[in-house]
Amino acid sequence: MSRERQVEVSLQREHIRVMIVGDVRLYREGIAASLEHRVDLEVVCTAQSSDAHRRSVECDPDVVVLDMATSHSLDLIREFESSAPRTRVVAFAVEETEHDVLLCAEAGAAGYVAADGTLDDLVNTVRSVARGELLCSPRIAATLFRALRVPTPEAGVDRLALALTAREREIAPLLEQGLSNKEIAAQLHIEVATVKNHVHNLLEKLQVGSRGEAAARLRSSQLSHSRTPSFRLDRGSTSPTSP
Amino acid sequence: MRVLLTNLPPLLRDILAEALAAEPDIALVGQDADVIVMQGSRDEAEEILHASGSARVVAVDSRGTRAIVLGDSESIALNDVSPSTIIMEIRGTA
């Protein structure tokens, strides 16, 4: 079932199933008790950070409300994002700076509540992320747009380019042209073994099983027509420098 | 019993207000409280206690994990506080 379909099924439930994660008992228990008073919210479980992953598997929440004062909170968001992609994370007690909000977003949080946010802010954010929406200030919205800014397909680069290293972007058009590893090596003045490694990585990133499939994918992506290095704000494999 | 919530982060203030609203013998007030619940240090709590004339002050630390309860002749330190322990301390029944 696709993630979109899973979310739709989830939203057809009568309540939004909420899990509260935090190491501070006062907030964990207090938020749980408060959310229980909302007719559309059901607190299915609470957990401290050390137990969060196991409890989320047991409780299958739609939304996790995570106290960012919790130790390793960003790692917890990443864990939820990878192990339970249907579950959406609301981070609360976030310092509303561009830096901290971007860290939350990059880790995979679907929404956040600022450190000076109210209970109503938290409730509304939980409801919003359950609908697939984001509540945030215009300033933070602008920050997120800037962070997501990428060259358009019309400019000859698509999102696939963001996942590739500079050397892989050099090899991609040659692969599309049907050149062998030996021919690519000769053209780029590098070892054949090095080309093999890059081609292997390219096939993985393109999620294809053969050079022919890779060439087809590259043609459809327009990536092979671009020489423009691409960047992204996060810590990824998008260095503009050659490996 | 009249309780004043002051100098608390908005989220904690709202959580405690909802918890206290469910207690029939407790009323939230804006002044002349029997008990003041606040966030702050021991010194700040003592200052509030003496200035307000309230019988008791419950001061939660900045993390929300610890609290001290100050009265005329008492000083209690609490660890791992919860909404229910704060309500018990407000009533003086802990």
Please name the member of A25, A93, A116 whose beta carbon is closest to the beta carbon of B81. A25
Read off the pLDDT of residues A21-38 as tens digits, 9 standing for 90 and up: 999 999 999 999 999 999
B11 touches chain A (CB under 8 A): yes
CA distance A71 to A59: 21
pLDDT of residue A160: 63
Q: Which residues of B68-91 are buried (b: 16+ CB within 10 A; e: fewer)?
A: bbbbeeeeeebeebbbebbbebbe
pLDDT in tens, A217-235: 777 765 544 433 332 333 2
pLDDT band at B45 (very low <50, low <70, confident <90, very high): very high
Residue A163 has pLDDT above 70, yes or no: no
Is the model's pTM score more than 0.90?
no
Q: Give the residue on B whose Cα is nearest the Cα of A25.
A: B82
Mind telling me how many Å the CA of A35 is from chain B's nearest CA? 9
Percent of chain B past pLDDT 90, that is, above it, reads 82
Which pLDDT score is estimated for B72? 79
As a 3-state breakdown, chain B gives helix, strand, coil percent values, each rounded to 5, of 35, 30, 35
pLDDT of residue A187: 87
Q: Which domains does chain A have, with CATH numbers?
A: 3-147 (3.40.50.2300), 153-225 (1.10.10.10)
Given CB atoms, is B16 within the 8 Å cutoff of chain A?
Answer: yes
Task: Please tell me if residue A14 touches chain B, with a CB cutoff of 8 Å.
Answer: no
For B4, the 3-state DSSP assignment is strand
Which of A102, A94, A100, A61 is CA-nearest to residue A80?
A61
Q: How crowded is the C-beta side of A154, counted as CA atoms within 13 Å?
A: 0
Interatomic CA distance for residues A55 and A19, integer angstroms = 9
CATH class assigned to B2-91: alpha beta
Dihedral sign for Cα atoms in the order B81, A69, A121, A12 = negative
- pLDDT band at A243; cut points 50, 70, 90: very low
What is the nearest CA distance from B74 to chain A, expressed in angstroms? Answer: 23
pLDDT at residue A159 greater than cutoff 80:
no
CB within 8 Å of A124: residues ≥ 6 apart: A135
Instruction: Report chain B residues whose CB lies below 8 A from the CB of A27.
Output: 11-12, 15, 64
How close, in Å, is residue A81 to chain B by CA atoms?
26
Q: What angle do CA B80, B83, A38 make, to 5 degrees?
A: 130
Q: Which strands form A111-114's sheet, in the order they lie side by side?
A: A41-47, A16-21, A63-67, A88-94, A111-114
Element (H, E) at A67: strand A63-67
Lowest mean pLDDT segment, chosen from A123-127, A229-233, B55-59: A229-233
A80 touches chain B (CB under 8 A): no
Contact A223, A161 (CB under 8 A): yes
| Both tokens assigned to B42 | 């021991």
- Domain locations along chain B: 2-91
pLDDT reported for residue A173: 84
pLDDT in tens, B25-34: 999 999 889 9
Tokens of A81: 């994002």
Query: Which pLDDT score is estimated for B16?
Result: 97
CB nearest to A30's CB, from B15, B63, B80: B15
For A182-215, what is each residue's pLDDT tens digit? 999 888 888 888 888 888 888 887 778 888 888 8
